[in-house]
A and B are shown apart, each in its own frame.
Chain A
């Protein structure tokens, strides 16, 4: 498993997981992508969702499942996940663009409208992106959620931005 060897999940590993939405669901609009593929004792994501779209069926160590038709892609779960492993992807953002929302607990925070370098799960820059939203409210408890606009074909690749250096 790539996750154990290199510290990042490969797309093929992810696609078989119950936290990863189907292709059809991606085509319908914003949806939470739960990249949590090990049985660890953790469940705040379930309570984070107002729509009951995240389920942990058995014991607390079971992996979270996304209920595709209940998820509206609001992104509340992103900041609640202690593992920072939940993203919201909107493949239908606009013609030829997708958007990806992710947790970003570093300073300085990017500003709306800023041009940023989008990175994949390996931390490698794969394309440019534009910051379209930064939410850092009290409920998120110091886990800001950043949304960037990226080329549509990178929707299942981009999972963050290159950290920005101070000064």
Chain B
């Protein structure tokens, strides 16, 4: 068993910023990630970020990722890649499998004084006839293919879901050179930002609200060839006789995300079901600390939002850790944390943020 002062699980925006904030105040930080490269989903975010211009908005996610990696290096964050945290056991012991999918994989137990769970989220699937056919995939998978691997996931694509992920990925698939035949939304209104919707509509991609997919058709040799779609009624039920067929080779699903909170639950951190934030998640206080002292949570694993809030929550956890390890005076820490909270509250205003703001406030209240 090895010992560490702080271990951050997950090197996405939340994990990286938590690691940076703690390490820059001299904490000894180990950051682990299952991927071969740190950055989480940032390196597929090729669009310019929203948010405050004081904090990297207007900069593309890929460039924010590069900056964070440089900072992590500068402050001496130790990074283990291709490592999966397979378990979190009592008294903050982390089981780590190194070199997964390799014959030479080894296991390690790390005893940590402080842990940040920044494991992100996983895409929700929706089940319909034929949804397991090759060619039906998550919107994130299509985005990974196009922006990371530089391979088109398909030529003619139908997007299911009009939240920001569905809208942004549709746009990025166009940029990669694919044809997006349309975006379907079962709800009567588009879920994501109007500006994201407007830019793909202008580029020739229609958005169909109150419409859903009922079947993916294809064969065992080639996968998807057709999508059967249908208008839905007020109760979101397909209206018989309204079916339409699209000839497509790929169907991408953007039906929201849910927090990856298994490690927190495994350790016995109290969790609750918060639909506005994607489902089950670990309760946490204003320091992002869970009900188990010394275990923190940040980013999508603390409730699904977006990269800006993930960055800020990571900073909160990082500062709180540095404070509780004695690397920063509590007066100084609280003024830094207040500044961060002001920015986070700003990000959660407006019609898109309100329900998240309410849910987060409720979580913190419940905690006390």
Are chains A and B touching directly in their complex (CB below 8 angstroms)?
Answer: yes
- A residues sitting closer than 8 Å to B (CB atoms) are 3-9, 35-44, 46-48, 59-61, 80, 82-85, 105-107, 119, 121-123, 141-143, 159-160, 162-163, 166
B63 to chain A, nearest CB (A): 8
Contact B57 A40 (CB under 8 A): no
B161 to chain A, nearest CB (A): 13
A115 to chain B, nearest CB (A): 18
Task: Choose among B189, B204, B353 the residue that contacts A4 (Cβ–Cβ < 8 A).
Answer: B189
- Nearest CB in chain B to that of A102: its residue: B202
Q: Which A residues lie within 8 Å of B222 (CB)?
A: none
Contact B347 A7 (CB under 8 A): no
Q: Which A residues lie within 8 Å of B59 (CB)?
A: 141
Contact B57 A82 (CB under 8 A): yes
Q: Given that A40-B193, A60-B52 are known contacts, is A8 also in contact with B347, CB under 8 Å in the complex?
A: no
Q: Given that A6-B209, A82-B48, A83-B50 are known contacts, is A106 also in contact with B198, CB under 8 Å in the complex?
A: no
Q: Which A residues lie within 8 Å of B350 (CB)?
A: 38-41, 61
B158 to chain A, nearest CB (A): 15
Contact B349 A59 (CB under 8 A): yes
Q: Which B residues lie within 8 Å of A42 (CB)?
A: 50-51, 57
Contact B60 A141 (CB under 8 A): yes
Q: Which A residues lie within 8 Å of B353 (CB)?
A: 41, 61
Q: Which B residues lie within 8 Å of A143 (CB)?
A: 48
Could you list 16 A-B pairs, sorted by A, with CB under 8 Å? A4-B194, A5-B188, A7-B197, A7-B207, A8-B197, A38-B350, A40-B352, A41-B353, A42-B51, A60-B346, A60-B349, A105-B175, A119-B204, A123-B203, A160-B203, A166-B177
Residues of B231-284 at the interface with A, using a CB-CB cut-off of 8 Å, are none
Q: Which B residues lie within 8 Å of A123 (CB)?
A: 201-206
Task: Choose among A39, A83, A105 the residue that contacts B349 (Cβ–Cβ < 8 A).
Answer: A39
C-alpha gap A8/B206 in the complex (Å): 10
Q: Given that A42-B57, A121-B198, A123-B203 are known contacts, is A106 also in contact with B175, CB under 8 Å in the complex?
A: yes
What is the total number of residues of chain B having a CB less than 8 Å from a CB of chain A? 44
Contact A8 B346 (CB under 8 A): no
What DSSP secondary structure best describes chain B's contact surface?
mixed
Q: Does B195 contact A (CB under 8 A)?
A: yes
C-alpha gap A44/B175 in the complex (Å): 23
Q: Which B residues lie within 8 Å of A3 (CB)?
A: 190, 194, 197-198
C-alpha gap A142/B350 in the complex (Å): 29
Contact B195 A84 (CB under 8 A): yes
Q: Which B residues lie within 8 Å of A7 (CB)?
A: 162, 183, 190, 194, 197-198, 200-201, 206-207
Q: Given that A42-B51, A82-B50, A83-B50 are known contacts, is A163 also in contact with B174, CB under 8 Å in the complex?
A: yes
Q: Which B residues lie within 8 Å of A36 (CB)?
A: 195
Of A39, A41, A61, A85, which is in contact with the most chain B CB atoms at under 10 Å from its CB? A41
B320-358 toward A: CB 8 Å interface, digit per residue (1/0)? 000000000000000000000000001111111100000
Residues of B188-227 at the interface with A, using a CB-CB cut-off of 8 Å, are 188-190, 193-207, 209
C-alpha gap A3/B195 in the complex (Å): 9
Contact B193 A41 (CB under 8 A): no
Residues of B266-308 at the interface with A, using a CB-CB cut-off of 8 Å, are 308
Q: Which B residues lie within 8 Å of A41 (CB)?
A: 50-52, 308, 346-350, 352-353
C-alpha gap A82/B61 in the complex (Å): 11
A147 to chain B, nearest CB (A): 16
Q: Does B80 contact A (CB under 8 A)?
A: no
C-alpha gap A47/B52 in the complex (Å): 10
Contact B57 A43 (CB under 8 A): yes
C-alpha gap A81/B57 in the complex (Å): 10
Task: Choose among A38, A80, A82, A162 the residue that contacts B352 (Cβ–Cβ < 8 A).
Answer: A38
C-alpha gap A83/B197 in the complex (Å): 9
Q: Does B47 contact A (CB under 8 A)?
A: yes
Residues of B152-177 at the interface with A, using a CB-CB cut-off of 8 Å, are 162, 174-175, 177
C-alpha gap A39/B193 in the complex (Å): 9
